[in-house]
């Protein structure tokens, strides 16, 4: 999930594109896994950049 998190912060790719780049079959599945891992959604990460610092590795 860390590569997905890094991509969310690095460029303007969509969550769907990031999901495929990281080997997931859908944006919904990556969002579910992301939320389980970090406690917030990929969209929350983009809206609240401070979450990046608080989420650990």
CATH number, domain of 32, equals 1.10.10.60
Query: Is residue 20's pLDDT more than 70?
Result: yes
Query: Is residue 57's pLDDT more than 60?
Result: no
More confident residue, 42 or 53: 42
Q: CA-CA distances (angstroms) from residue 32 to 25, 29, 44?
A: 12, 5, 13
Enter the pTM of the model: 0.74
The total number of structural domains in the chain stands at: 1
> How many Cα atoms sit within 13 Å of 11 on the Cβ side?
9
Query: Is residue 52's pLDDT more than 90?
Result: no
Q: Which domain holds residue 26?
A: 2-54
Mean pLDDT of the chain: 84
What is residue 55's DSSP assignment?
S
């Amino acid at each position: 999930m860390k590569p997905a998190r890094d991509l969310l912060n690095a460029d303007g790719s969509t969550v769907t594109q990031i999901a495929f780049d990281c080997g997931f079959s859908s944006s919904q599945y990556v969002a579910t896994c992301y939320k389980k891992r970090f406690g917030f959604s990929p969209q929350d990460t983009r809206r609240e950049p401070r979450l990046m610092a608080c989420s650990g590795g």
